[in-house]
């Protein structure tokens, strides 16, 4: 059968060396929905099994005896979709993240805890469409809708992986989403504001750190984790491969888990060359206490007082990153593809959050 099939028929496809049954039908709530079942490794024996199963599903749909839980259609008797959701999330974390990826682990761990509070020991097979909707309502009672959607994204990923692992066959989270207010674009610092901030930090212990943040546009943790072995000999390029985690106070992989090379401005190159001459640590930037810069301490003790003194509207130190790429894009210095590569973002993220944010020319009259 082809990947596309008439209404009520089941298509058998081969994906990653395994047979997969796919069809459309109404779910328990009367909504049109796509269903998927894995039918084992792609071989002649399993093809016959898959074809028989497809015919059974089609007959059940036609006769009104379709089993929305899909238990009736699970090949074999030793299926493992009775695994508890909390255990499933633990398996997902173990399969996808290394111990130093604490931010991601914490995000999924928080989701796991929510499930425990919602209904302890709930199994994957018990997560029907109705149960999924109930869980969304539970999340909305204590979370902003934007956060709820973020958690739904995590759940879709977990269930997609579970389907590939043969743990379950249905992803009840696919079509779930709650309405959110449009997210305002981050407000970058203007060139005049940047000039005043750099002037205020002149001669200060954190002068070079602030100059680097505005000049390179990396994440705060990436700047704090930068070591001299990641700086080219002539200081014209840096290799961003790690980030400093505030909670664990350890150096770990970057937010995306990917490294990147960034050619830096000539002014920052000269600054690094001077710093290198008197370096006493592997780390390029140190706090006034001689350890890696801690974002919260820097923000609370130095960044906030400086902006208040200057009378500049507060924006977090992270907005130095938005400012760098906003100005580079709006001025035409870089195209989106290049800026994305240097920033460690996708082109879509760069377009949504940075492009054109520094100036808004008025529309012209058409007459």
Give the per-residue pLDDT at 360: 62
Give the per-residue pLDDT at 303: 97
Note if the pTM is more than 0.75: no
Give the per-residue pLDDT at 69: 74
Give the per-residue pLDDT at 2: 44
pLDDT in tens, the chain (367 residues): 444 445 568 999 988 888 888 998 887 667 788 888 887 788 887 888 888 888 889 988 888 878 877 777 765 434 455 789 999 999 999 999 887 777 788 899 999 999 999 998 888 888 888 999 999 999 999 999 999 999 999 999 999 999 888 888 889 998 899 998 777 777 899 999 999 999 999 999 999 999 999 999 999 999 999 999 999 999 999 999 988 876 666 777 777 778 899 999 999 999 999 999 999 899 999 998 889 999 899 999 999 999 999 999 999 999 999 999 989 988 888 888 999 999 998 888 887 776 656 666 665 567 6
Give the per-residue pLDDT at 7: 57
Give the per-residue pLDDT at 52: 84
Identify which of 43, 47, 67 has the alpha carbon closest to the alpha carbon of residue 56. 67
Q: Are strands 11-15 and 18-26 parallel, antiparallel or unpaired?
A: antiparallel
């Amino acid at each position: 059968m082809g990947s596309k099939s008439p209404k009520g028929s089941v298509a058998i496809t081969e994906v990653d060396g395994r047979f997969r049954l796919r069809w459309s039908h109404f779910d328990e709530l009367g909504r049109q929905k796509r269903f998927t079942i894995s039918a084992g490794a792609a071989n002649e024996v399993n093809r016959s099994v898959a074809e028989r199963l497809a015919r059974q599903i089609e007959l059940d749909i036609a006769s009104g005896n379709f089993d929305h839980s899909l238990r009736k259609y699970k090949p074999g008797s030793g299926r493992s979709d009775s695994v508890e959701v909390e255990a499933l999330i633990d398996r997902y974390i173990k399969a996808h993240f290394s111990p130093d990826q604490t931010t991601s682990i914490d995000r999924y761990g928080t989701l796991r805890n929510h499930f425990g509070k919602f209904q302890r020991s709930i199994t994957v097979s018990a997560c029907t469409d109705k149960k999924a909707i109930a869980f969304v309502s539970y999340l909305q009672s204590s979370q902003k809708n934007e956060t709820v959607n973020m958690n739904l994204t995590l759940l879709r990923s977990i269930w997609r992986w579970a389907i590939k692992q043969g743990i379950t066959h249905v992803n009840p989270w696919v079509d779930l989403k709650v309405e959110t207010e449009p997210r305002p674009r981050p407000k970058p610092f203007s060139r005049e504001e940047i000039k005043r901030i750099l002037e205020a930090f002149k001669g200060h212990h954190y002068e070079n750190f602030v100059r680097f943040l505005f000049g390179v546009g990396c994440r705060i943790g990436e700047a704090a984790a930068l070591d001299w072995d990641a700086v080219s000999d002539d200081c014209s390029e840096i290799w961003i491969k790690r980030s400093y985690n505030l909670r664990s106070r350890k150096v770990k992989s970057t937010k995306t888990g990917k490294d990147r090379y960034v050619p830096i401005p000539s002014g920052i190159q000269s600054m690094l060359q001077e710093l290198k001459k008197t370096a006493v640590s592997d780390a390029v930037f140190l706090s006034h206490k001689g350890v890696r810069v801690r974002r919260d301490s820097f923000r609370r003790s130095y960044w906030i007082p400086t902006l208040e003194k200057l009378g500049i509207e507060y924006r977090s130190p992270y907005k130095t990153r938005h400012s760098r790429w906003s100005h580079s894009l709006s001025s035409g210095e870089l195209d989106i593809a290049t800026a994305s590569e240097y920033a460690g973002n996708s082109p879509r993220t760069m377009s949504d959050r940075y492009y054109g944010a520094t100036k808004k020319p008025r529309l012209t009259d058409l007459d």
